[in-house]
Amino acid sequence: MNIADVLIEHAHARPQHPAMIHGSRVIAYREMDALVRRTATYLQQLGIGSRAIVGVCLRDTPEHLVVLYAIARSGAALLPMDHRWTAEEKRRVAEFFAAALVLREADDALSPSLRSIAVDQQWHRAVAATAPADSFPSDAEADFCLSLSSGTTGIPKGPMITHGHMAARYVAQRKSLGLRPEDRFMVALPLYFGAGRNLTLGEVNNGATLVFNPPPYEPEQIVQVIAEQRIDVTLLVPTVLRRLLSIAPSHGHLLPQLRLMFSTGAVLHPDERKAVLARVSPALCNYYGSTEGGGLTLLRPADPPEVEDSVGRPIHAMDVEIVDPEDRPVPPGTVGRVRYRGPTVADSFFRNPEASKSAFRDGWFYPGDLGRLDAGGYLYLAGRAKDMIIRGGINIYPEEIEQTLLSHDAVGDAAVVAWPSKERGEEIAAFVVAKRQVSGGELVDHCRKFLAPYKVPRAVFFLDQFPKSGMGKVLKPELAKQLPPL
């Protein structure tokens, strides 16, 4: 079993059905399958065999997806690389994971220490002249993708996802998310990112149509593409949803034609979720997961209002528990460390035994998140374990303070970090992006109304914008560097 096997099925069952649309270019499933098989054969002729690792450092186009499937088809493993990284970041990641080859853009100058080939006109001519092999590897236990789970500084963590893991993710997507062969899916997140890649591959597995509309884009462009291309499913990050809210009508929906609109990468404040459901799309689903395990929980539009600040309940075949520091399950409502398991989850980090030992234990994966489960099985996140603040011996969860700040109508974004203190060990520092003029004192008073005294920020710092990852997650270590000494 190989994830590219399904392309052969689609090529026979729906040969003329559009697989990928990029601007005026349309590639049907028969053409996509042929492109993938020729590209896989060409990779083999370049010396790329089973278990080799191939870096993909390409923009988000149909060529990127063809290369991705060709690597899988050839029996090699994919190493996703962000084309926006610096040359040094690309070199460090490719060398750490021992990439045998890196496929890059023609204008991308990689380190001469790396073996790389540009996916350009010469590449396309060589692929077109290649006769596809008669057979290819097909093994569910074979490695498919090294999906980086953290930034590119230091030693990166890369869980190895197999073809079998991906097959299990496709089943979960069909059963829990409701993806269908008739979907027209807008690819609006980079294929480098696990969430964007997983849902995109899931739609290909179903035989759906992909419409490429990668970032950067303005919110008006998203609206236009969804209308013109008759999009009914897409995946966005909260940063984009907030931009869509800024142009949404006060009555009615901005995107009424969407059947499913998934949000991932960060947690939406309950008030933001209400606003998106009311003004952008009634089909909003909050989708929480990780690169190590794929999707984990889903909060649906029909879920009751009292659970709107959760990230939903576990999807098909996923077990979730909250445990104490000794890995013992805790009662409902108690904050602890999140752990989960299921057929979609990797079992280790590639070439990183120390990190594997702490994150993968006794069949469970520990993503580093803090949270609680209610009696109905809904998961509520309390932040990252590494971000927890210990003030005078008391555990404080930044997520609660951030949500309180976001409930103030002057706050557009909020992030809370630990502030080293000789007196109490750590104090609470809040960073805010304001939507209008507001003082730090006013926001501190707002927190006092809703939080215990020991959870109130010591000070509020204002920024025009937060440093964020490509998925829209706030880079808290960068904020912490800006704190003055206490």
Q: Which DSSP symbol is given to 75?
A: T
Burial class (CB in 10 A: 0-12, 13-18, 19+), 322: buried
Model pTM score? 0.86
Among 385, 408, 432, the domain boundary falls at 385
pLDDT at residue 239 is higher than 90: no
Helix (H) or strand (E) run with residue 385 in it: none
pLDDT at residue 411 is higher than 90: yes
Among 339, 366, 385, the domain boundary falls at 385
- 234 and 349 fall within a common domain: yes
pLDDT at residue 249 is higher than 60: yes
What sign results for the dihedral spanned by CA atoms 314, 318, 323, 328? positive
**Least confident window among 53-67, 207-221, 393-407:** 393-407
Asked whether residue 466 is assigned to any structural domain, the reply reads: yes
- 299 and 344 fall within a common domain: yes
Q: What does the angle CA 154 – CA 158 – CA 164 come to, to the nearest 5 degrees?
A: 180
- 149 and 230 fall within a common domain: no
Asked whether residue 444 is assigned to any structural domain, the reply reads: yes
* Alpha carbons 250 and 447: distance in angstroms, whole number: 29
Please give the average per-residue pLDDT across 164-175, as a whole number. 96
Asked whether residue 184 is assigned to any structural domain, the reply reads: no
- 393 and 378 fall within a common domain: no
- 82 and 36 fall within a common domain: yes
Helix (H) or strand (E) run with residue 402 in it: helix 398-406
* Alpha carbons 347 and 162: distance in angstroms, whole number: 10
- 381 and 392 fall within a common domain: no
Give DSSP secondary structure letters for 347-373.
Answer: --BTT-HHHHHHHEETTEE--SEEEEE
Question: What six digits make up the tokens of 277?
Answer: 């459901």
Percent over 70 (pLDDT), the chain = 98
Question: pLDDT digit string (tens) for 280-329?
Answer: 999 999 999 988 999 999 999 999 999 999 999 999 999 999 999 999 99
pLDDT at residue 152 is higher than 50: no
Question: What six digits make up the tokens of 286?
Answer: 């909050």
Contact assessment for residue 84 and residue 108, using Cβ atoms and an 8 Å cutoff: no
* Alpha carbons 213 and 6: distance in angstroms, whole number: 24
Predicted local distance difference test score (pLDDT) of residue 151? 47
Asked whether residue 146 is assigned to any structural domain, the reply reads: yes
To which residue do tokens 């993708």 refer? 145
* Alpha carbons 143 and 228: distance in angstroms, whole number: 38
Q: What does the angle CA 96 – CA 102 – CA 105 come to, to the nearest 5 degrees?
A: 130
pLDDT at residue 170 is higher than 90: yes
Percent over 90 (pLDDT), the chain = 79
- 167 and 229 fall within a common domain: no
pLDDT at residue 148 is higher than 90: no
- Report the amino acid identity of residue 79: L
CATH, residue 475: 3.30.300.30
Nearest to 105 by CA among 81, 82, 89, 83: 83
Predicted local distance difference test score (pLDDT) of residue 154? 56
pLDDT at residue 25 is higher than 70: yes
Question: pLDDT digit string (tens) for 80-127?
Answer: 998 988 888 899 899 999 999 999 999 998 989 999 999 999 999 999
Predicted local distance difference test score (pLDDT) of residue 105? 96
- 17 and 140 fall within a common domain: yes
- 166 and 260 fall within a common domain: no
Asked whether residue 60 is assigned to any structural domain, the reply reads: yes
Among 355, 385, 415, the domain boundary falls at 385
* Alpha carbons 474 and 286: distance in angstroms, whole number: 18
- 274 and 397 fall within a common domain: no
- 397 and 452 fall within a common domain: yes
- Report the amino acid identity of residue 115: R
Asked whether residue 193 is assigned to any structural domain, the reply reads: no
Q: What does the angle CA 347 – CA 294 – CA 84 come to, to the nearest 5 degrees?
A: 100
Asked whether residue 154 is assigned to any structural domain, the reply reads: yes
- 379 and 395 fall within a common domain: no
Asked whether residue 183 is assigned to any structural domain, the reply reads: no
Please give the average per-residue pLDDT across 244-258, as a whole number. 95
Question: pLDDT digit string (tens) for 363-381?
Answer: 999 998 999 999 999 999 9
Nearest to 298 by CA among 397, 173, 203, 200: 173
CATH, residue 76: 3.40.50.12780
* Alpha carbons 100 and 393: distance in angstroms, whole number: 49
Looking at every residue in the chain, the average pLDDT score rounds to 93
**CA dist 287 → 84, 311, 316 (Å):** 26, 7, 13
**CA dist 284 → 39, 233, 238, 385 (Å):** 37, 10, 11, 28
Give DSSP secondary structure letters for 145-205.
Answer: EE---S-SSSSPP-BEEEHHHHHHHHHHIIIII---TT-EEEE-S-TTSHHHHHHHHHHHH
Question: How many distinct structural domains can be found in the chain?
Answer: 3
Q: Which domain does 397 fall in, by range?
A: 388-480
